[in-house]
Structure formats: C-alpha cells, structure tokens
Amino acid sequence: MRGEDLQIDRGLQDQLDFTIGDALTALKKRQQADGHLIFDLEADATIPAEYIFLNHHLDEREPALEQKLARYIRSIQQEEGGWPLYHGGAPDISASVKAYLALKITGDSPDQPHMAKARAVIHRLGGAEKTNVFTRYALALFGEVPWRAVPVMPVELMLMPKWFPANMWRFSYWSRTVIAPLLILAALKPKAINPTNTHIPELFLTPPEDIRDWQQNPTGRWTGKMFLQLDKILRVVEPYFPKKTRQKAIAKAEAFFTERLNGEDGLGAIFPAMANSVMAMEALGYPKDHPALVTAKKSIKLLVTEENDETFVQPCLSPIWDTSLSAHALLEAGEAPMGESAKGACDWLASKQILDVKGDWAEKAPDLRPGGWAFQYNNDHYPDVDDTAVVAMALHRTQNPAYKEAIDRAEEWIIGMQSTNGGWGAFDIDNDDHYLNHIPFADHGALLDPPTEDVSARCLSFLGQLGMICRIPPSSAA
C-alpha cells in the first residue's frame, strides 16, 4: 500500500473512531439508572388517530392533547395529501381515512387545503369504502358504515374446539388479543358517543347504505371465493344463534382478554388490543371506576409521547429490544463486559427473563419450561424467540458466568419453540394455517405468525454462537 493511501485510510479510521465514540457517548446518556434503554417507537398516522377515536367513542375528550395529536398527524401528511404506512411509502387508503376522520373530529374543516388534498387522494384510491377490515370496524362503531360492511366474525368463535379449522388458537398472538374484545364489540354493536357529531360522508364514492359487496376476496383465489360464500351464509344465520350460546361465548371472550390484561402494560402490550379491551369493557357495562377498566385506560395513556408542540402515540413500548441491541452496540464498540454501561444493560435484561409464566405459546408446548423475553417491559403471556435470541446473544458475549442459567433457559426455550418445518415464528409454534389468509377478515395480511427467514436466522445465530449450529437436529432442520 502506498504511503498516501495509508494516510487516507488513517484519516478515515480516525473519523470512524470519532463517530463511534460520539455515538457511544450519546447512547450512554440515554441509559436509565437501572441499566435499560428505551427509544420512541413511531408508527404511522393510524395509532394517534385511533387514540382520538377512543376518546370520542367514550366521550372522554382531552382537547389540548388531541390538538397536539392533530398537529402530529398533519405534520406527517404527504405533500399530495395522503398518509403512508411508512416514511416515503405510497399513500394508504385506510391510514388516510383514519387520519382525515381524526382531524375532522378535532376541528379541522373539510374546506381547509390539507383536508381537500386528503379527500382527493382518498377518492383517487377508491373512496372510504375501499378501506381494510379494521378501519371498517372503526367506521361501524362511529355509525359511518353499516355493520354489514365488516365480515361476519361471530363471538361463538370463542367456543370452537382447538381441532376446528377456525379457532382463536390458530391466529397469531396479536390477532388473538385484538380479536377477543373485538368479537364482543361485533356482537353488542355499541355506538360511539361521538360528542362532536362528526361524520365523513364526503369520503365515500358510493353512499355506504347503497353498497352491497363490502367483502372482498383478499387473495383472489378459489379458497377466498369459498370463504366469501361462507360469510354470506353466516350473515343470514347469525341472528338465529341461540341467545344462551351467545352469552356463553361473550363470557368466554371476556375471560380470555381479562385474564391477559397485563396490568399497566396492557392487553398484549399493544395499542389496538388495549383500545379494544377498553371499548369491550365499556360495552359490557363495567363501571367507570372498575379497577380493570381504570388500569386498561392508564396503559393506553402510557403510550402517549408528548413533545413541545406535537404528540404521537406509540403502538407499544420497546425496552427489551432497545436494550438488547444497545448492549450489542456497547460490546461491539469495545465497552468492557463488566463495565458499568454494558453490565448495567445486561443485568437489567437478565432480570426481565420470563421464567414462571406459561403463556399462549404453551398451548403447543405444554411441557416446555418458560425461558424467553418479551419486547415490552412486561408481557409475560407473550415472549418471543426474536427478542430472546438477541438478548441471550448479548448475555453470552459478556462471558459472565452469572448469566449461564439465563442463557441455558433461553436455549431450551428457543429449541422447544421450533416449528415442524424447521423454522421459527416469533411467538408460536406452527402458527401457519395459511388457508386462514383467504377469509375476508384477513385483508390486512397479518393474521398468522408463520416461521420467517429473519426470525429463524436470529435463532440460528444464537445457537451458532453457542457452538451448536451443526451438532443438534433443530439447527439442521432450520
């Protein structure tokens, strides 16, 4: 190598070292006293919009906060007028309709330029009638569309045995926690109080009451056509389901989600499930001061992230993920494993391992000992192998013997969570009944939790780091 090239390389190395050192200092400043780190988890416009919907569904308004949420929603509106699901993405019809309704609820006039632009985009995308199922549920609760606008999902689904082709245990964790209270809402059909009497007929190309073909085949295949016919049959017979059976099913749905309310961390520790649980408890007649309802509402407020002029709502909190990735960064940057920052992060992570609760995953592995980590502060029913692998790899990198038992339990749990095809889903074993993706309800494309390449790769990385990548059948199968 010539001297001038070496000089350039040294300059780049110095710059790189400075940048890494600067980032390391910033990371340490974000570390909490107990060792963990947490960063904002920003989603799209739908979560702050749904927070506003919830307030107006219950008539529990927060005018100052809602104005900050509205400012945030306006700030992420695209120049052409729509709202995407991710930065730089195409405008999404469902996100745009929710954002528009939220802004109108908080006082924005349809005549304002940003609202006119949003309306034009929504019309171009087919009108509010083209929104996805979850958006149409929200619109049905506000009386914007008839209940026939949503697929028939009888609450009696809760009574189906595990062998039945469509039952709660065949859905992903996030679907289960969202659907259980949603089934109650679909059965009881409560109407949002909507104190501002806000409506959005201007977003529909066809008046909702005139639309006859609300349900669509999400995949376009013959299986989807079959499920569309089943939806039509269920729509006819559902009103004749026995009342006692319906009450039993509602009680079972209530028991399912109340057993998993998860304190101030909320049902499933994700906003959509939390919001549905609050609306379901209200629909069931829970008094305002009922401890479960009070705590569920508080769990939602903990997701509100206030800044100076704008406020957004996180879909969930991410301390385990943030701390584990930060621990890897600290160690990669040369921090001593027993140093204050790295050890503080790893000690905190070790303390959050779930060792005593057999969550929903145990339905497929009843004899497997718990040993995983969740994504959030507390979500004992729903640890995931993704977080578990990343956390355990960080603990293992320190070579601290104090973490050996935690790593061993993580290894045992991850191996036990391997699916039949050799891969790993995030939260469940063999959650891959792909025929369910053809039901009209599944148009959002996230009903299941099948094994995926990225989750499986992280599990293999963990097993490989332990030196067992080629020595045991699970690794070979993956």
Spell out the alpha helix ranges (H) of 76-158. Answer: 93-105, 113-124, 133-141
Q: What is the largest CA-CA distance in the chain?
A: 87
Which residue type does 76 have?
I
311: DSSP letter: E
Question: Is 386 among the residues known to form the active site?
Answer: yes
Angle of CA points 329, 331, 334, to nearest 5°? 110
DSSP string covering 371-402: -BB-SSS--TT--BHHHHHHHHHHHHHHT-GG
Asked if 448 and 427 count as a contact pair (C-beta separation under 8 A), the reply is no
369: DSSP letter: P
Task: Count CB atoms within 10 A of the CB of residue 197.
Answer: 7
Asked if 98 and 175 count as a contact pair (C-beta separation under 8 A), the reply is no
Q: Distance between CA atoms of 18 and 32, rounded to whole angstroms?
A: 24
Radius of gyration of the chain (CA): 24
Here the tokens at position 299 are 């769990």
> Which H or E element spans position 312?
strand 311-313
Q: Which is catalytic among the residues 386, 387, 443, 449? A: 386
Catalytic residues: 386
